[in-house]
Structure formats: structure tokens, C-alpha cells
Amino acid sequence: MTMKNIKSLLVVLFFGVATIQAKDKIKEVETIEALMEVASKNGQHVKMKPGVYSIADYLNKETTAKLLAALPAATKQQKRPPRWFLRFNGNNNTFDFTGVTFEINTELYKILPYGYMRCIFIEGNGNTLKGLTIKNTGPKDIGSSGNILSVFGDNTLLEDVQLYVSGSTYGYGDLFGKGGPNLTNLQKQSGIMIAGKNNTLRRCKVFSRAFGHCFYIQTQGLVTDNVLLEDCYAEGEMRSTNDMLAERGGLAEKLNYRSVYQNRDGRFIINLGYTKALCEDGFRTYGGVGKVTLRNCTAKNTRAGFEIGGTNDAKNQTILEGCQAIGAERAFLIGSNVIVKKCSGDIQFGPLLYLRENTVGTDVELELLPGIPKSLVHTIATIAGKNHRVKLYAKDSQATMPILPIMLGFGMPAHGEMSSPILPMETENVVLVNELNHTLVIKNDDAKNIDSKSVSLELSNSETQTINGRGKW
């Protein structure tokens, strides 16, 4: 045997031994009890046997006692401490859940004390979870006022995680409230919450049949920065207000068809002609978070496809790239210091864009997808705030489109509720590029330093309120 052949054999033997050792390092678990035993340890590669696992079966008398003993007590600083069923507090672990489904019966929420429910709680750092499916079972009208999965640790990676969420006061969207004042107990139930640093979600999906957010990013008292969501999907469902008003024997009738929102005629009542999302937002960010990037994400039939709550003093801009909102109550609701590029949305049930009042420094380019609204929609976009650039366009200039206005110098209606009035708001130093030739631009007379380039008609607000300059109609 030549020296060259000997070296080749040694290489083969080395990698063969390395492969065997790597396989030996994989910890295989077949029960939730075994999973929780390793979830608090470090530096492991854990694979769970494919199958359906019930959290109710796991929570026997002994495991429930251990769980309750581990939960933190409420304090003045943390009035709603985290409550969980499964906690991953070890570090630098990889969990392969391919083919695994966790079932969470909504009746289980009552066994835990008051706090913020985080059914699956990823608290450790450097962890990877792959392939997990989580489904709610049990009564559809019980929510936890929390979420199904929370990420608190840094350097977390979630890949191909799917949630099927149910359980809340459901069927009316936010018409009865969304945090106060409320006409009834909402029992919110959200999907995935992300806090912490350097966390990434890829190809994760949330199918919501509950009143709550699908994906949302918050600080929760932590430094939340450098968060990436890529190729993620959020889906809710829609319901017409006509259907709600025709309902007999349900919650709407019990509440006399009232709403917390004041309509254009001054009444606090559900209004005919609109379509409401029954969940909250597809993708939501709150103020105080650092750098966030949403890339190639899609929201369908949610309240806002993308509600980005950037703050005026944010050091980093939130970036939306290649994102799409389909059939949302409002496609993009944007705050300060946000960049939106190569994104698109339709106006089946609501506006393409609300660029909020009292915001600064946002750059938006949005494609309007073709199609006629399926219920009442009053505007393609409202644009307010300072130092913005907005470009609206359609790829097919000949496609069927509605003749609706772009309202420049107007804020979104209160709470984003379409049946509420759209009012003029302070607007300054805004560049608008309108390439939608089927629309018109209505500009607030008091808007300052506006650079508007529009292929369609542009009118001042006062012009639309008078006839031949001779007074109001």
C-alpha cells in the first residue's frame, strides 16, 4: 500500500469515527418529561421522536407541582411574571422537532396563577428549534391573555415552526376593544413574541383563529435588537360587519351591537358595509426595539398586515423588504424611521398605507396590487408626519383599479378603524411620488413644504368641500 493510499484510509477512518461520535452526541427523547430534563442543560443536540404530544398528558400531579414551584412570584417591578408550560432555559442547544406536534388544551390555562402566559418559553441563549408544530385544542372561547411561544434569550434561531392558534373572545375583531376601554373580556391569545438580541425566525408560520397578534416584537424589559424575520407567514380570517349585525343570540346582540369606536356619524356602534379582521396584526413591532428586519414575509387576512411602531428617536431604522399584505384590514401601518422597499399589498378590505401622524423620517415604496375592494374602503393611503418620502405605484397600469384618493396631510382614522373619520393632521417636508393613474390626491391645505409628483389629479382639501369656489354643498 502506498503512502498516498494510507493517508486516504486514515482520512476515511477519521471522518467515520467523527460521524459515529456526532451521532452518539445526539440525545433522543420520546416524552415531554425527558425533553424537560435536558431543556435546562447546555451544549446539546436533542432530537424528539416524531409524534403528537399532549401537554395535558404531561401535566400530572407531580409535574404540575414542579412547574408551579418554578414559576416566579409577582413583584412591583414585574406585576405579570412569565407563566409557562414548557421552558427552555439551557444554553447553546439544538432541538430537532421535525414531525413533532405539541397540543395545548386551552382549559390548561386555569391551572396557572396570574401572570403573562408564555406557553412555550425560550429563555436560554444560543438555542435553535427546528420543525416544531404547536396546536391549540379544547374550548375555542378560552384565551390566556398571553401567547403560545415567547423568545427571551439572545442568539435564538427558530426554523420551520408552525402555530395553529385558537382560544379568545373571537368573531368580532377589535370592535369590542383591544386593551382598554373594553366592552367585554377579550381573553387575547397571540402567536409568537420575540424579545432579546440577535434572534432569527425563518420560514415560521402562524395560523390564527384567535384575537391576538400573529408575530410581535417587544422589549419586555430586555434589550431587543438585531431581530430578523425571513420568509415568515401570518394568516387570520375576515368577517363582514353585515354578518355581525345579522347575528342573533351571539355576543354582538348581547352587547346591543355597540363598538368602542366612534363612527363618522358620532355613534359608538358596529357599522354596516365594512370587513373586519378577527385576529390582530400579522407582524407588529413596538417602540423601544432596536434594529428589526422583515424580509419576504407575508400577511393574509390580518388586522394590519404590518404594523411597525418605530419611534421618533430610534437609532436604527426598521426595514421591510419584499413583504406582502393580502386581504388585510389595512396593509401597512407605518411609524417613524422605517424603510419599506419592494413591498406590496391590496385594498380588498382596507387601505394600502397609513403613514401615521406625529412620525418622522420614513421612506416607503409600495406596489398596489390590482383588484376592486370587496367592501367599503375610503382611501388608498393617508400620509402625515414630517420628513417622509412615499412612492406608490402599480406594475400594470392598465389593471382594473378603484378610483379612490391618496390623502396627503391626513392621519389615519382613530385606532385605524375605517368607520371613523379621516382628519387633517400636521404634515411637513413630505415627498410624494404617485404613479397610480386611476386615483387622485387630496392635499391638506395646511400641509407645509410638500413636493408632490402625481400622474393623476391633485386637489386641495378646500377645493373638494366647495362648488365653483362659492361655498359648501
CA distance 120 to 194: 12
Work out the end-to-end distance of the chain between its first and last CA atoms, rounded to an integer number of angstroms: 102
Q: Cell digits for 220? A: 419586555
Q: What is the mean pLDDT of each run of 10 residues along the chain (473 residues)?
A: 52 41 75 97 98 97 95 91 97 98 97 96 98 98 97 98 98 94 96 98 98 97 96 98 97 97 95 98 95 98 95 88 98 97 98 96 96 95 98 86 93 95 97 94 96 94 80 55
Q: Which residues contact 113 (CB under 8 A, 6 or more apart)?
A: 68, 71, 83
Residue located via cell numbers 441563549:
125
CA distance 213 to 299: 11
Closest CA to 400 of 369, 366, 442: 369
List beta partners, residue 179: none
**Number of neighbouring beta carbons within 10 Å of residue 128:** 16
Contact 184, 176 (CB under 8 A): yes
Please, what sign has the CA dihedral across residues 174, 176, 177, 178?
negative
Query: Apex CA 328: angle with CA 225 and CA 363, to 5°?
Result: 50
Q: What is the pTM of this model?
A: 0.93
pLDDT, residue 21, reads 40
Q: Cell digits for 146? A: 398571553
CA distance 191 to 150: 8
Judging by DSSP bridges, how do beta strands 275-277 and 238-240 pair with one another? antiparallel
pLDDT, residue 467, reads 76
**Number of neighbouring beta carbons within 10 Å of residue 15:** 10
CA distance 365 to 353: 10
Contact 432, 408 (CB under 8 A): yes
pLDDT, residue 7, reads 52
**Number of neighbouring beta carbons within 10 Å of residue 69:** 7
SS3 label, residue 11 = helix
